[in-house]
Structures are given as C-alpha cells and as structure tokens.
Amino acid sequence: MADKLRLMAVHAHPDDESSKGAATMARYIAEGHDVMVVTCTDGGAGSILNPAMDKPDVLENMIEIRREEMATAAKILGIQHRWLGFKDSGLPEGDPLPPLPEGCFALVPLEESVPPLVQVIREFRPHVVVTYDENGGYPHPDHIRTHEVSMAALDAAADPEFDPSLGEVWETPKVYYGHGFSRAKILAFHEALESRGLESPYSEWLANWGTDRPDVMDRVTTRVECADYFEVRDEALKAHATQIDPNSRWFALPMDLQREIWPTEEYELVRSRVDSTLPEDDLFTGVKV
C-alpha cells in the first residue's frame, strides 16, 4: 500500500474511537495513510466512570472537558477529527425507560443530521468508512442513530441530486461495521489467564452472556493485524479520563498475552464496489487510488 488511502470512522461519542478500532487506525497512520474520525455527539450526557475524575467541577464542565480529552486522543492516534456536535442522548435507564431528552441526537430527524456528515464525506472522500451495525454495537440510542445517519449519508453523498452545495459527489468504495468484544474474544482471554494461573476479570461477564445471544464473530469478514499498536490504543483510551478508569478490566490483560492470543481487530464488510476475496486482512483490500 505505497499510495496514500483514506479511512473514515464514524462514532457516536468521544472515547468510542479509542475503544473501537483505535489500533487499526494507528496502524494505517503509521503506514502513511489519512484517517479521520467523525464524532456525532458532544458527549455531554456521559457519566463519570473514573473515580479519580468524579468531582463536581468536572460534571459541570463535561462537554468542554470531553472536547479536550478528544483532542488529546486524536493527537495520540495521529488522526484528523471532526465534530458533528449533536446533543448527547444519554443512556436511558429504568423500568419503564424514561423518554429521551428533547433535541438529542437520537431524536433529531435524519433530514437534519445527515447533511453535515454528507459534507464531511464529500470533503474527505474516504476509500473506506467504518461505522456501527444496525444494533449500534450495543443498544445505546446514539449508537443506533449513528448507524442510521452513517448509512443514509453514504447514500446521499453519492447522489448527484442531493444538495450540490455540500460538495462534489463521492461514492465510498468500501463500508464496514466495526465489531468489538465478542464472546469468542472474551473467552480466549479468560482461558489464557486461567491456564497461566492468573485471575480472570471476565468470569462474571461470560456467566451473564446469554446463551441465545449471537456472537458477532459469526459476522466478521475482516481481521486486521494491529498488535503493534495496542499501546497507542491504550494511551488514547486513557486520554478520555472521565470515561476510562486506568485500573479497570480494560487494562487487566498483560500486553504480551493480548498480542499472542488476539492480535487483530474485527470488521464486517457490508458494501463494496471493488473486488475482494473474503476473508480479508486489510480494510483497503482491492482499493486503488
């Protein structure tokens, strides 16, 4: 891949880019390609998940702090970054679930949320776009909406009749869903730790994994080798200090075991205008500049 190619990842919140596909992006940056992350929401409804950051002034300035965290993570990864700036919907909890807040991203009509992403797609002209599947990766309303907005924007960006003022049309050659933690991956980590006489932090997670819940590995078409960039991924994650506890199970597995047991990040090819034989080991397979 001597020629420069362009990858765009569309995420719901600041920190999603670092917990989902960050090592892949860092690899492609190291190889000389261009990578852009688009963040759909401002992250303002995020909870403080790191006890060290659980302070009143942090909560009062959450949007500003999360913008600073995102800027730091982007610098660590070496990526370009764009905000769409919609209001974070939050994760509704309770029974029955409370209504989503008025004006939040999940409730904004597609007629309003799609054009800003179309403009970014037409400007950046990505060869590959990565977004979430129809379930949002997990059923957060902003993640599901990110899927809907991404797929609609990809269609609109390629339509010459869709608002020419947003830029010259662009049809993205390949589109992927990113898939994060699968049961197969968690089980592999769990068994690797136990076989070495180490305590596994994944026992409860596996015990609560429903037997009727499908494993996303059944959908994976593409596994990208990126173990050399796991440290970069972790540093980017830690930059989101309000969201990431450095003592959490995110960092429980020794790095050498991660590289040995699961050195890839996983994706599902869902659209392609180029020839590519599955399974793949590269998101840019078949793409020509």
In DSSP notation, 224-281 reads EE-GGGHHHHHHHHHH-TTT--TTSGGG-S-HHHHHHH--EEEEEEEEESS--PSSBS
Structural contact between residues 244 and 257, judged by C-beta atoms closer than 8 angstroms: no
Burial (Cβ within 10 Å: 0-12, 13-18, ≥19) of residue 215: middle
Is 140 labeled as ligand-binding? no
- 16 carries a ligand binding annotation: yes
The amino acid at residue 186 is: I
Collapsing DSSP to helix, strand or coil, 209 comes out as: coil
Please tell me whether 33 is known to bind a ligand: no
3-class secondary-structure state, position 154:
helix
What span, in angstroms and rounded, lies between the C-alpha atoms of 101 and 142? 12
Of 79, 92, 91, 1, nearest in space to 39 by CA = 79
**267 alpha carbon, distance to own chain's centre:** 11
Binding residue ranges: 13, 16, 143
Binding residue ranges for Zn(2+): 13, 16, 143
